[in-house]
Amino acid sequence: MTNDIPDIVIGRLPIYLRELNSLQREGEKTNTSSHDLGRRLGISSAQIRKDLSHFGEFGKQGTGYNIAYLVEQISEILHLTKEWNVAIVGAGYLGHALAHYNGFQHRGFRIVCVFDSDPKKIGQQMGDFVVQSVVELETTIQQAHIAIAILAVPIDVAQEITNRLVEVGVKALLSYVPVQLMVPEDVKVSYSDPVVQMQRMTYYLNP
């Protein structure tokens, strides 16, 4: 696997994996095709075949893809054959919801700690976690070998927290903060801004 694979291709792999897992749960068949996946996802079969071809040949002409095998292969490509420890920074409404979300558990990620700077929240129970002070951030991140963090903090502290996380080895950030973060080239940031998502959709609506 090379490093020059377009990021947009990498971004579609989890979508394929999610749909393949759905097919496995349905249990109606052991094989699928790029046409079937494309129909379910609204992506052309040619695009799916092209995306997967970056990583090898996973299907056979006439029989398509073995679902279990393709799940295994995409999981390996995305390094999901191990469980990743994840930290949440920000114990507000969003952080609270994320800490209680059970969708991480069986998809390769495990929330292990939650941080906040508000004295009223520090020490409080949040689901399975006790909210820790951001003063403990660096020590906990290093001890738990955390490479992924979720940011749910106010805009004015987002860059400072990002800098601290990067300094102790965090290489991937999922940011719910509506601001562009400055990070080194070897750190990946994914942004989740519901306003931006809705603004994208209103383009297709008639005023």
Three-state DSSP class for residue 172? strand
> Contact, 110 vs 102, CB < 8 A?
no
Delimit the CATH 1.10.10.10 region(s) of the chain.
Answer: 7-77
According to DSSP, residue 176 is labeled -
Q: How confident is the model at residue 204, as a pLDDT?
A: 93
Delimit the CATH 3.40.50.720 region(s) of the chain.
Answer: 84-196
- Could you give the C-alpha distances from 53 to 1, 48, 49, 57, in angstroms and in order? 11, 9, 6, 6
Class of domain 84-196: alpha beta
Q: How confident is the model at residue 43, as a pLDDT?
A: 95
Q: How confident is the model at residue 86, as a pLDDT?
A: 96
Class of domain 7-77: mainly alpha
Biggest CA-to-CA distance, the chain: 62
**Helix-, strand-, coil-residue percentages of the chain, each rounded to 5:** 45, 20, 40
pLDDT by 10-residue block (mean), the chain, 207 residues: 80 96 89 93 94 88 87 95 95 92 86 95 91 96 96 96 97 96 96 91 90
Whole-prediction pTM: 0.88
